[in-house]
A and B are shown apart, each in its own frame.
Chain A
Amino acid sequence: MWAEGFLTALQPLNLLYLVAGTAFGMLIGALPGLGPLFGVALMLPLTFGMPAATAIIFLTAVHAATAYGDSFASIMINAPGGVGSVASCWDGHPMAQKGQAGVAMGISTFGSFIGGVAGWISLVALSPLLIWVAVHMGPPEYFMVAVMALSLLALASEGQLLKGLALGGIGLLLSFVGRDPITAESRFTLGWDYLEDGLPLAAVVLGLFALSQAIVLAQQEGSISQLRRTGNVWEGFVKVLALPATIARASAVGIFMGVLPALGLSSANVVAYFVEKRAAKDPENFGRGDPRGLLAPEIAKNACIVGDLIPTFTLGIPGSSVTAIFLAAMIMHGLQPGAEFFSRSGALPYTVFAGILFAQVSFFVMGLLFARQFAKAVLIPNAILVPIIVALSFIASLALRGMLEDVLVTFVFGILGYIMSVYRYPAACLVLGLVLGDLVEANFHRSLLIGRGSYTIFFTRPFSLLLLLLTILMLLWPYRKTLLGRGQSPAGAVP
């Protein structure tokens, strides 16, 4: 079956669409704010006339390449290519500023490839186990996962714990704007219909990072890389190979976040970044162009998007909006997701799986060809680059929902992001709160509904209790020596 699947995926028509999907995905990804959801949704109608396997392979190529291409804008101009590559800005862009744009592109290209392959291996080999875990996770467990992710706020605050917690709170409060996830009651919309669906994450992120960066760049003469050099892409490959622990950690985070429905791309990269920072012996180097700070989110992002496909193919449960489109594509082409997909479709599942692997190879090869050219963006004079960043940010905000109000949101958050960058407020905390708010609140209330109002539901379910204990352990870890009476707490530990 596997050989047949690989041979079918290697047919010229499939390869042609694989390359076309990759090229298109990289183009979409390179535009700030436009991520995999935009790319895959845009391409879905084009698959009507294609054979089923070709259609899924094409969409997979678009999906993988868009996620990879998202990092271009993050690294070069500090404007997140999509919500899945916010964390790539934090160390990727400082590398570009230090004249290592090519190295950063190398790390991104190789890291994304490794993440994609790790996700693919999990899809092929670990599906049954991961699905078992996923089906045993209910609202209390999701709540605990979100709380665990929120515990990273302390780390995201970069030594300014109170400011970080306050900004995390603001992020959470912003995520509460719109309809309540349980009662559907409107909250904090001030009667404005636009806010009924909540604040658009992509527009907020574009403002916080891209527009604020445009204001910063406008005040500087010259170009992003004052050193007028970009470094070598291959150097990035070497750096990746020297970080096996980062690869393992980020792959695990990406796959885990991908498999669990609702924990998707937007949180995987941010969580992987902070998990890596927590594991580092020198966390103070993060945010200053540390290769680990770029590699971790890159791997997690691409592992997540493949991991995301596991529940979609095996259970027929889309883990995110993008995989919901995949589900639609499968049904549109007469495929039944779930167990029947494997039992009644012959070699087709294996063709699709082979296509997913080839999609990773395809963007990797194209990335190798073009990474160096993209890296040269850091040499463009700031006076020319600034209006490009602003125009791309505005059009990306517009493109997502076609609403001018989204551009206004981007503009307002641009001002906020700039003030935060000037006064060294950790904007990452706000993003973390905004990304996790809905997950925390909805699953808390769902848990209480299941537990008939009793809070014991969080402690009586084994997975939930395990996650709670892990969170407590993570919070106490920096103080272990003090608690055990063997020394001082670490200097960098928060009060």
Chain B
Amino acid sequence: MERGKVDLGAALLPLVTAGFAAALLFFSRENNPTAALFPRVVGVATLAFVLLDLIINRTGIRHAAPPEGRASGGRLPAWGIPLALQAVYLALIYVIGFSLATFVFLLLCPLVLGYRRPAVVAAHAVLFTAVLVFTFQSVFHIRLPKGLIGFPW
């Protein structure tokens, strides 16, 4: 059996899966027998599958290194940058509204990801935001979040 450092990423998913199943099992005690029956059956089965998988494939969570590479020399792993950008975009929607947040996101994201033609990025950000907001707001009549600042569009 291969012995190495435990890959936290590989261990995370079984833990989340088992934790979620266990949590639902725990909360199912608040429900009446009819409502609790399926969650209990499925919850116990899921826990059993996760445990069996961990026992049978325990070498699978032991690797010398995580399967996906890290950003060379950077502080964030390669996946961290797009994930952080998405989180910032979501937070911006809440604060400054969808239209402004989308414009800022479309402006920053390509540059952060290494695209080096600012004029193209700026034109794309303006055009795409305008088309998206117009289509959803004026054609589909969807109310887009205006954010805490109450941005008019």
What residues of chain A have their CB less than 8 Å away from a CB belonging to chain B?
42, 162-163, 165-167, 169-170, 172-173, 176, 180, 182-183, 185, 187-188, 190, 211, 214-215, 218-219, 221, 381-384, 386-388, 390-392, 394-395, 398-399, 402, 404, 407-408, 411, 414-416, 418-420, 422-423, 425, 440-441, 444-445
Contact = CB atoms under 8 A, between A and B. Distances in A.
B89 to A, nearest CB: 6
B115 A384 contact: yes
Interface in B30-74: 31-32, 34-39, 42-43, 45-46, 49-50, 52-53, 56-57, 67-68
B86 A169 contact: no
A395 B113 CA distance: 22
A165 B145 CA distance: 39
B53 A162 contact: yes
B10 A387 contact: no
A176 B42 contact: yes
B45 A169 contact: yes
B64 to A, nearest CB: 16
B94 A404 contact: yes
B46 A187 contact: no
B110 A383 contact: yes
Contacts, number: 168
Nearest to B124: A384
Contacts of A172: 38, 42
A183 B90 contact: no
Interface in B75-117: 78-79, 81-83, 85-87, 89-90, 93-94, 98, 102, 105-106, 109-110, 113-115
Contact of B143 (A182, A215, A402, A415): A402
Contacts of B90: 394, 407-408, 411
Residue from B42, B78, B124 whose CB has the most chain A CB atoms within 10 Å: B42
A425 to B, nearest CB: 6
Interface string B116-135: 00001100100010001000
Given A166-B50, A173-B21, A444-B38, A419 B115 contact: no
Contacts of A415: 83
Contacts of A182: 34-35
A423 B13 contact: yes
Contacts of B120: 384
Nearest to A180: B35
A319 B52 CA distance: 39
Nearest to A38: B140
Nearest to B36: A187
A173 B86 contact: no
Mostly helix, strand, loop or mixed at chain B's interface? helix
Interface of B: 9-10, 12-14, 16-17, 20-21, 24, 27-28, 31-32, 34-39, 42-43, 45-46, 49-50, 52-53, 56-57, 67-68, 78-79, 81-83, 85-87, 89-90, 93-94, 98, 102, 105-106, 109-110, 113-115, 120-121, 124, 128, 132, 136, 140-145
Given A173-B42, A384-B110, A394-B89, A185 B32 contact: yes
Given A169-B21, A173-B21, A422-B9, A391 B34 contact: no
A166 B46 contact: yes
B137 to A, nearest CB: 10
Nearest to B116: A383
A215 B89 CA distance: 14
B13 A440 contact: no
5 contacts: A42-B140, A162-B49, A163-B49, A176-B42, A422-B68
A214 B82 CA distance: 8
B22 to A, nearest CB: 11
Contact of A176 (B38, B52, B68, B93): B38
Given A215-B82, A399-B136, A414-B86, A445 B34 contact: yes
B31 A180 contact: yes
A387 B127 CA distance: 13
Contacts of B105: 387, 390-391
Contacts of B106: 387-388, 391
A221 to B, nearest CB: 7
Nearest to A163: B53
A170 B35 contact: no
